[in-house]
């Protein structure tokens, strides 16, 4: 975790020096719709949130590099019904991601600009919860437990993720923006190599950039 934050600080400092006086800032927040891609299909979609702070370092009038720090709520859901038994499992993961996106800006006269971008991210899971709810025969079930992170036999998910971000949106001249994105996880998060579990995250939100 300390190495992750140190790497982010070095990256932001380097870009700040590179961009000189043209460095900008921004904040995006909104709703995540995450799920897992698995070897036999995918989980059901969950609902979460994201909050992202980023720097905007112009490399030309129409392109910028945007590194950021992003708090991401990810996870997925599963449900199963068998005879008189039914159970639903909701897994919620809080992750700190560091995205670095190359963003193209397409001006639309004097009103603002469309933007579209992509780039890699590295993520570190901070915490996780499994919430169980359903019926076992005539008995109700409602409980939760912490997700076990690691690479051992008794663990559920690896803690570190790597993937690619895609984003698009529109920003007005006053800085207000609407945005949408997609996170394509490339890391197999399953500790057991016989299984496959990868993050897939749609997002939509609003933001403000300077």
What's the pLDDT at 2?
Answer: 55
Q: pTM to 2 decimals?
A: 0.85
- Look at the alpha carbons of 63, 69, 71, 72 in this order and tell me if their dihedral is positive or negative: positive
Tell me the C-alpha distance between 184 and 76, whole Å: 14
**In angstroms, how far is CA 136 from the centroid of its own chain?**
34
Tell me the C-alpha distance between 74 and 189, whole Å: 13
Please give the average per-residue pLDDT across 3-15, as a whole number: 52
Tell me the C-alpha distance between 119 and 166, whole Å: 7
CATH class for the domain made up of 22-76+93-125+158-209: mainly beta
Tell me the C-alpha distance between 62 and 113, whole Å: 10
Give the pLDDT confidence of 141-184 residue by residue, as tens digits. Answer: 788 999 999 988 889 999 999 999 999 999 999 999 999 999 99
Take residue 4 and report the two structure tokens written for it.
């992750």
Secondary structure string (H, E, C) spanning the chain = CHHHHHHHHHHHHHHHHHHHHHCEEEEEEEEEEEEEEECCEECECCCEEEEEEEEEEEEECCEEEEEEEEEEEEEEEEEEEECCEEEEEEEEEEEEEEEEEEEEEEECCCCEEEEEEEEEEEEEEEEEEEEEEEEECCEEEEEEEECCECCCCCCCECCEEEEEEEEEEEEECCCEEEEEEEEEECCCCCCCCCCCEEEEEEEEEEEEEC
Give the pLDDT confidence of 15-74 residue by residue, as tens digits. Answer: 444 445 589 999 999 999 999 999 888 999 999 999 999 999 999 989 999 999 999 999
Give the pLDDT confidence of 103-148 residue by residue, as tens digits. Answer: 999 999 889 999 999 999 999 999 999 998 887 666 777 889 999 9
Which residues on adjacent β-strands are paired with residue 181? 167, 203
């Amino acid at each position: 975790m300390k190495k992750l934050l140190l790497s982010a600080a070095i990256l932001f400092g380097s870009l700040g020096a590179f961009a000189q006086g043209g460095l900008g800032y921004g904040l995006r927040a909104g709703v995540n719709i995450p799920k897992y891609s698995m070897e036999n299909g995918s989980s059901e979609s969950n609902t979460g949130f994201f909050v992202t702070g980023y720097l905007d370092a112009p490399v030309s009038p129409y392109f910028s590099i945007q590194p950021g720090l992003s708090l991401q709520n990810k996870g997925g859901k599963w449900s199963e019904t068998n005879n008189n038994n039914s159970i639903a499992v909701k897994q919620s993961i809080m992750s700190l991601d560091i995205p670095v996106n190359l963003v193209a800006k397409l001006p639309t006269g004097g009103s603002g600009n469309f933007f579209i971008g992509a780039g890699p991210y590295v993520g570190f899971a901070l915490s996780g919860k499994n919430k169980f709810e359903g019926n076992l025969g005539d008995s109700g079930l409602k409980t939760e437990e912490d997700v076990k992170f690691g690479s051992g036999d008794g663990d559920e998910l690896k803690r570190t993720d790597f993937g690619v971000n895609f984003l698009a949106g529109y920003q007005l001249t006053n800085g207000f923006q609407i945005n949408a994105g997609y996170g394509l996880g490339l890391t197999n998060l399953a500790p057991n190599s016989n299984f496959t579990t990868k993050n897939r995250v749609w997002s939509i939100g609003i933001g403000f950039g300077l």
